[in-house]
Amino acid sequence: MDWCRYRFRSVWRLAAPPEAVYAVLERAEEYPSWWPQVREFVPLDTTTGTARFRSLLPYDLVVTAGALRRDPAAGVLEVGLGGDLVGWARWTLAPEGTGTRAVYEQEVEVHARLLRALAVLGRPVFRANHAWMMRGGRRGLAARLKGSLEERR
């Protein structure tokens, strides 16, 4: 087993149509305004940016994310990742009742030196840290969508 490789999958059920969810998720520069663990996003050009994350652990991860696929009709947003995490992340959105089923998948290898050094002992903590980050993201996105839907009424 490569202790520095991770595969994550989260499923979020959101009370908004896929088009509304996609519209929020495609604006990565706005993630810090609704996702507490995304501390910063700096656009580098129209398809690439640098993001800084911090969840419960007192350690920042910095990645460069570049668009691999943006397909609103299919409900897919996918980015390639470089920096402290190397790999990819993808959102896949589908209608579910009157809302959306949002699936987040990520496959990465940790390149951050400290996290690589702590890979074996820290793995359960790193996975829990990621889970905490995803819970914060789901709550933040649900609140952002609720506010957007109320503004339209």
- Residue 22 clears pLDDT 60, i.e. is over it: yes
Domains in the chain: ranges and CATH: 5-152 (3.30.530.20)
Residue 123 CA, chain-centre distance (Å), reads: 19
pLDDT (tens digit, 9 = 90+) per residue, 1-17? 799 999 999 999 999 99
Under 8 Å CB-to-CB from 47, ≥6 apart: which residues?
Answer: 66, 67
Question: Residue 102's beta-bridge partner residues?
Answer: 12, 93
The pLDDT of residue 57 is 92
**Closest C-alpha to 134, from 31, 41, 5:** 31
Element (H, E) at 104: strand 99-110
